Structure 1
Amino acid sequence: MSLIDPFEIIDPRFRAYVIPIAWLETLHTGMRWTEGPVWFADMRCLIWSDIPNNRLMRWSEASGAVDVFRADSNFANGNTRDRQGRLISCEHRTRRVTRTEPDGNVTVLADRYQGKRLNSPNDVVVKSDGTIWFTDPTYGISAAYEGGKAESELGGNHVFRLDPRDGSLAIVADDFRQPNGLAFSPDESKLHVADSGFIGNPAWPRHIRSFDVGAEGRLAGGGVLTEVAPHAPDGIRVDVDGNIWSSAGDGVHCYTREGELIGKIRVPERVGNLTFGGGDRNRLFICGHTSLYSIFLNTSGAQRP
């Protein structure tokens, strides 16, 4: 636990989300690059990825114990749950999106688009209609450290929409450098997507864009909502008020739905991803570079309608 005040108030509106006696807690450390946290309320546990160590980890709320959930994760990155509560994962090594069934078997949901292999699916969200939306940058094929070095067959880095009912896969946005974290607004009228191209190329974007979500998954707009610095945005989440909580080089940033930076949670290392969890969904779990942290907030994560 860090007894240094972790909150940085940039705008007075941020005070409404701060619990003054809540502190940043270190839940586990000793990893290489943490990512993809997902909360399992029915099991009171958090599952997340330790990508270079090729494993999924699990933290128990009841005991505080940490164990290996899956020893060979295929260098999984982003994770979420579908409407039936099943684990959905983005795998770098196999360049696919998978679903873990209740019996533990793994079903491949997508690994190719028009016959060409995906790059390395990165982050993923599920909409209330059951469709699965994921980003596909090249981080997992740029080096063996996070998957396996390979050339892109698609020739671009896109945002995809998968309908598991019929297996259809469609590109919904194709003008990103490196699409990364993504999150819907509480009413699902907006889709926010991070472009972390800055990671590896300082001339490329480090911003969050916001799209209007239309019928049958069509996106419109896509203007830049906000720039994120230091470093770049990676994983993002949205709370019940529509605020966007983004990873950054100095911790977690909180932006209003209009893109105004109102506050930060300072973390002692670069943050890769985050998610809301706990019984009231008011506990923010934060994946730092080598450690898993958490902090209680006076807000809760948005849930699909």
Structure 2
Amino acid sequence: MSITGSLRAGRNSGGNTLSASDYIILDERFAGLIHVNAAPEVLWDGGRWTEGPVYFHAGRYVIWSDIPNDRILRWDEMNGAVAAFEQPCRNQNGHTLDREGRMIACEHRSRCISRYEHDGTRTVLADAHEGKPLNSPNDVVVKSDGSIWFSDPSYGIDSDYEGDAAPAEQDGRHVYRIDPAGEITRVISDMKQPNGLAFSPDESLLYVADTGGTHFPDCAPVIRAYPVSPDGRSVGAGTDFATCSEGFFDGFRVDTGGNIWSSAGDGVHCFAPDGALLGKILIDQVVSNLCFGGPKRNRLFICATTTLRAIYVNATGC
């Protein structure tokens, strides 16, 4: 039975009205992971489909994508200013930082994984596998050994809305690994439309969301867990970790306690490492992706359809 978070009517310091409907607590563990006097704040509105947030600690700003508008935007944590970071941006989707603080980007239009160097130049890291172009890289994560793991569904080539319509040249939609030396290998090939992905805190598991239901009605909206091999270069057979109760899981992140904070059709869903749904942060738009940020990594930055939002939680992002 669910327990709705108890809040008195009022306003937080950001001027947002607090409401019991901001949270649904399904497990008492979730009560320890949220601040009931903190509500989601709308930091910016005006996109078509926002995605791929990443927080830069050195500059205290967030970068995110507005894919159909072919632009990357930047929100400054110090003054709340929003500006275009790059436009056009080749319909970028997901982003992350590598071990040196460089931004890694998934590009739909150029069908590649790229890296922004410290001097501002751009390096293409992978745009093909076995001599054939990738589909449209979607989301990306960097492992502690410097390897880059990314999903490659077909959304960027399905139409001209989020990229350039084109036939797929790969034999499916897969997950790949880029070795620090630059070699690209396929690591997961049993998904319909692999999407968001993240490692567990000890990197023993790779979690991957499958949004294949957008193309294959019999595909369940799940996050699957894959055990990472001892050498860190491949994964074993995956198992279903969680099923989405509202819409699809898209992007997600993991906190230091191993809890997964995932996008969903009705907001952010939080899962314990044992797969139990602990609770929800309800958002009035479909959530696409999120990241932890702020000086203490305890603030969730949330991309929800047309908006960038944020909320403080009682958890620390990995």
What TM-score, normalized by structure 2, do the two folds share?
Answer: 0.93
Give yes or no for the alignment of 1:41 onto 2:49: no
Distance 1:2 1:161, change over 3 A: farther
In the alignment, the residues of structure 2 paired with residue 172 and residue 257 of structure 1 have an alpha-carbon distance, to the nearest angstrom, of 23
- In structure 2, stretches of 5+ residues that fail to align are 1-15
Give yes or no for the alignment of 1:196 onto 2:205: no
In the alignment, the residues of structure 1 paired with residue 93 and residue 170 of structure 2 have an alpha-carbon distance, to the nearest angstrom, of 20
In the alignment, the residues of structure 1 paired with residue 192 and residue 274 of structure 2 have an alpha-carbon distance, to the nearest angstrom, of 23
RMSD (Å), alpha carbons: 0.9
In the alignment, the residues of structure 1 paired with residue 44 and residue 170 of structure 2 have an alpha-carbon distance, to the nearest angstrom, of 37
- In structure 1, stretches of 5+ residues that fail to align are none
Deviation string for 1:191-212 (max 9, x for gaps)?
A: 1000011124432221000011
The equivalent residue for 2:37 is 21
Give yes or no for the alignment of 1:77 onto 2:81: no
Q: Say which of 190, 195, 199 aligns to 1:175.
A: 190
Distance 1:141 1:2, change over 3 A: farther
Give yes or no for the alignment of 1:290 onto 2:312: no
Larger Rg: 2
After the TM superposition, which residues 49-128 of structure 1 pair with which residues of structure 2 at under 5 Å, given as runs? 49-128=65-144
Q: Secondary structure at the match of 1:52?
A: helix
Deviation string for 1:143-188 (max 9, x for gaps)?
A: 100001111101210000001x321000000010000000001111
In the alignment, the residues of structure 2 paired with residue 98 and residue 110 of structure 1 have an alpha-carbon distance, to the nearest angstrom, of 7
Give yes or no for the alignment of 1:263 onto 2:279: yes
**What percent of counterpart residues are identical?**
51
Q: Secondary structure at the match of 1:17?
A: coil
In the alignment, the residues of structure 1 paired with residue 19 and residue 308 of structure 2 have an alpha-carbon distance, to the nearest angstrom, of 17
The equivalent residue for 2:19 is 4
In the alignment, the residues of structure 2 paired with residue 299 and residue 71 of structure 1 have an alpha-carbon distance, to the nearest angstrom, of 34
Letter in 2 for 1:298: N
- Quote the offset at 1:74 in angstroms: 0.2
In the alignment, the residues of structure 2 paired with residue 34 and residue 201 of structure 1 have an alpha-carbon distance, to the nearest angstrom, of 24
In the alignment, the residues of structure 2 paired with residue 179 and residue 88 of structure 1 have an alpha-carbon distance, to the nearest angstrom, of 18
- Quote the offset at 1:2 in angstroms: 4.1
Q: Secondary structure at the match of 2:31?
A: helix
After the TM superposition, which residues 134-283 of structure 1 pair with which residues of structure 2 at under 5 Å, given as runs? 134-163=150-179, 165-214=180-229, 215-283=231-299
Letter in 1 for 2:122: V
Given that residues 192 and 216 in structure 2 are in contact (C-alpha distance below 8 angstroms), is that contact kept between their aligned partners in structure 1? no
Q: How many residues align?
A: 301
Given that residues 198 and 231 in structure 1 are in contact (C-alpha distance below 8 angstroms), is that contact kept between their aligned partners in structure 2? no
In the alignment, the residues of structure 1 paired with residue 297 and residue 285 of structure 2 have an alpha-carbon distance, to the nearest angstrom, of 24
In the alignment, the residues of structure 2 paired with residue 113 and residue 288 of structure 1 have an alpha-carbon distance, to the nearest angstrom, of 32
Runs of 4+ in 1 over 3 A off after TM superposition: none
Given that residues 2 and 25 in structure 1 are in contact (C-alpha distance below 8 angstroms), is that contact kept between their aligned partners in structure 2? no
The equivalent residue for 2:8 is none
The equivalent residue for 2:10 is none
In the alignment, the residues of structure 2 paired with residue 200 and residue 49 of structure 1 have an alpha-carbon distance, to the nearest angstrom, of 23
